[in-house]
Amino acid sequence: MTAPASPRLLLAGALGLICASCATTPPGPPPDVVRLEDQLERLHADPRIAGNAGPELANADAAVDTLARNARTLDAADYQQGVYLSDKLIQIAEASAFARYAEQRGAALGAERERLLASTAARSVAPAVAAASVPPPVGSASANLLALQSQLGGLESRVDERGLVVRVGNYMFEPDQAALTPTAQRSLDSLARALRAEPGTTVLIEGRGAAGDGQSAAARAAAVRDYLNARGVELARLDLAARPSPETTAPGQARVEVLIRTD
Amino acid sequence: MNRHRYRYLLLIAAAASGSAAAIERGDAQIELAQATAAVQTAERDDAARYSPADLDEAHAMLVNAQQAADTSAWRNVAIYAERAKVDGELASARARQHRAEAATAEIERSVDTLRAQLGRGGAP
């Protein structure tokens, strides 16, 4: 039977354990905090993010700073909670900044698009062939389509082997809806006028959406058909179709192509 | 920083000072209500389409918070609700990012087409 340890010996042992634990505690912030600080640094160094940083980045900064200052005093559960929240706040800051960046870029491109459309209309640009590899139709049918194309204002169009293709882009619809924007309606007015003046043409309205998103594509195609019909183009001339488009990857963002042919 | 956001830091600071265990029913219920609102906002932002993983995580955390509330475990309610709230806000932010980038890509394609048309018609 061993003798019980004296209180002095127990105290010395406890002190020894405490000193040993002090010696093995790594200096500096915990790895999670270092990782979060590195992520924040990356966000601040990216001009697309730093230039579009809203309150979200300030929130992430504050959360990581608070966590870093208190990391050593938190229990495991609270520390993990702090890491979780800080991590998510950083991701929110990044996504929000990229959204603003894309929105600003979209606005600039939209202004550029308007300028280009105005240039196209003002100069009555000679009808273009969009795909260089696709030869345009030849003969009088082609001439009729080219003449019709020159009447379109505010719409992108091309003449290819199928006929005159007028593009009604995703941005011409209300977000995630089939409703045409007011600007798109004004643009389609010129198409309706041209179609009324050319009763011999046939019209196929194709909704082009992501695979599995035929409903959205069909709804947008129907919206274009109904608008043209409301502007005096006979319903019997307006056929509808919907098909997948490799360009469109997100559901709800279908575009519409109006294919016009001469008989 | 608004009060809504500031609660994250309050939770961390409270935990650091050892007072987190004193989270009471009223505080936890406020957190739960805010989390529910954030998840509903994400659903309205169509996060199920654009950011389904984040929305799923938000839903899971909200369920955990509600289950903790059923047993009056108020500290757990606050913890899970805080997580559901940031997950819901992240889902909303990613949905906004995705929509903005998709719309910009569409306009960019349109601009490229118009530039090509003008180029073939003769540059100004």
- pLDDT tens for chain B, 124 residues long, are 444 454 555 666 566 555 544 677 888 889 999 999 999 999 998 899 889 999 999 999 999 999 999 999 998 999 999 999 999 999 999 999 998 998 899 889 888 988 887 876 544 3
Phi, psi dihedral angles at A139 (to 5 degrees): 85, -165
A129 lies within 8 A of chain B by CB: yes
- Measure Cα distances from A114 to A153, B47, B74, B107, B117 in Å: 11, 31, 56, 11, 14
Q: Which amino acid is at B45?
A: D
Of A62, A82, A109, nearest to B108 by CB-CB distance is A109
Q: How many Å apart are CA A178 and CA A92, to the nearest integer?
A: 30
b/e A85-102 (16+ beta carbons within 10 angstroms → b): bbbbbbbbbbbbbbbbbb
Could B113 and A98 be called an inter-chain contact, meaning their C-beta atoms sit closer than 8 Å?
A: no
Phi, psi dihedral angles at A256 (to 5 degrees): -130, 140
Q: Give me the pLDDT at residue A260, please.
A: 92
Give the pLDDT confidence of B70-84 residue by residue, as tens digits.
Answer: 999 998 999 999 999
Cβ atoms A205, A240 nearer than 8 A: yes
Taking the CA of residue B58 and the nearest CA in chain A, the distance in Å comes to 11
Contacts of B108 in chain A (CB under 8 A): 109
Could A89 and B8 be called an inter-chain contact, meaning their C-beta atoms sit closer than 8 Å?
A: yes
Give the pLDDT confidence of A30-54 residue by residue, as tens digits.
Answer: 999 999 999 999 999 999 998 888 8
B113 to chain A: nearest residue by CA?
A130
Please write down the HEC assignment for all residues of chain B.
CCHHHHHHHHHHHHHHCCCHHHCCHHHHHHHHHHHHHHHHHHHHCCHHHHCHHHHHHHHHHHHHHHHHHHCCCHHHHHHHHHHHHHHHHHHHHHHHHHHHHHHHHHHHHHHHHHHHHHHHHCCC
ipTM field: 0.86
Q: How many Å apart are CA A188 and CA A165, to the nearest integer?
A: 13
Taking the CA of residue B119 and the nearest CA in chain A, the distance in Å comes to 9
Size of interface A-B (CB pairs under 8 A): 165
Q: How many Å apart are CA A72 and CA A22, to the nearest integer?
A: 13
A109 lies within 8 A of chain B by CB: yes
Could A55 and B1 be called an inter-chain contact, meaning their C-beta atoms sit closer than 8 Å?
A: yes
Residue A242 has pLDDT above 80, yes or no: no
Q: Mutation test of the interface with chain B: which of A78, A89, A156, choosing the one with the most B Cβ atoms within 10 A?
A: A78
Cβ atoms B96, B46 nearer than 8 A: no
B90 to chain A: nearest residue by CA?
A92
In the stretch 27-66 of chain A, residues with CB closer than 8 A to chain B read: 55-56, 58-59, 62-63, 66
Cβ atoms A233, A196 nearer than 8 A: yes
Q: Which residue has the higher pLDDT, B17 or A186?
A: A186
Q: Give me the pLDDT at residue A125, please.
A: 43
A118 lies within 8 A of chain B by CB: no
Give the pLDDT confidence of A47-90 residue by residue, as tens digits.
Answer: 999 888 889 999 999 999 989 988 888 888 889 999 999 999 99
Rounded to two decimals, what is the model's pTM? 0.62
